[in-house]
Amino acid sequence: MKHTPETIGELVRNTRKAMGVTQKNLALTSGTGLRFIIEMEKGKATCQLGKVLTVLHTLGVKTEFIAPAGNGRKGT
């Protein structure tokens, strides 16, 4: 599945709501601002990657990045 800012925002919103957490509390526990959470949940494409990853981690969302086969470099 190809993820977009919109699908990640939807995942965050749905997970947060399922956990019974407010946007304000998620912002506080993840060390971000309320405005950041609101914009991320709306799918803002220019949200800072580091903060997005922090929010995902705070919610317990697992992430996995896999390089294409044969793309591992040795001896660099």
- CATH code at 11? 1.10.260.40
Entry pTM:
0.84
On whether residue 70 sits in a domain, the answer given is no
On whether residue 76 sits in a domain, the answer given is no
On whether residue 71 sits in a domain, the answer given is no
On whether residue 47 sits in a domain, the answer given is yes
Q: With residue 11 as reference, give the H or E element that holds it.
A: helix 5-18
Dihedral sign for Cα atoms in the order 45, 47, 53, 56: negative
- Over its length of 76 residues, how does the chain's per-residue pLDDT go in tens digits? 689 999 999 999 999 999 999 999 999 999 999 999 999 999 999 999 999 999 999 999 999 988 888 765 555 4
On whether residue 73 sits in a domain, the answer given is no
pLDDT at residue 27 in the model: 98
On whether residue 48 sits in a domain, the answer given is yes
Q: How many domains does the chain have?
A: 1
On whether residue 28 sits in a domain, the answer given is yes
Q: Which domain holds residue 25?
A: 5-59
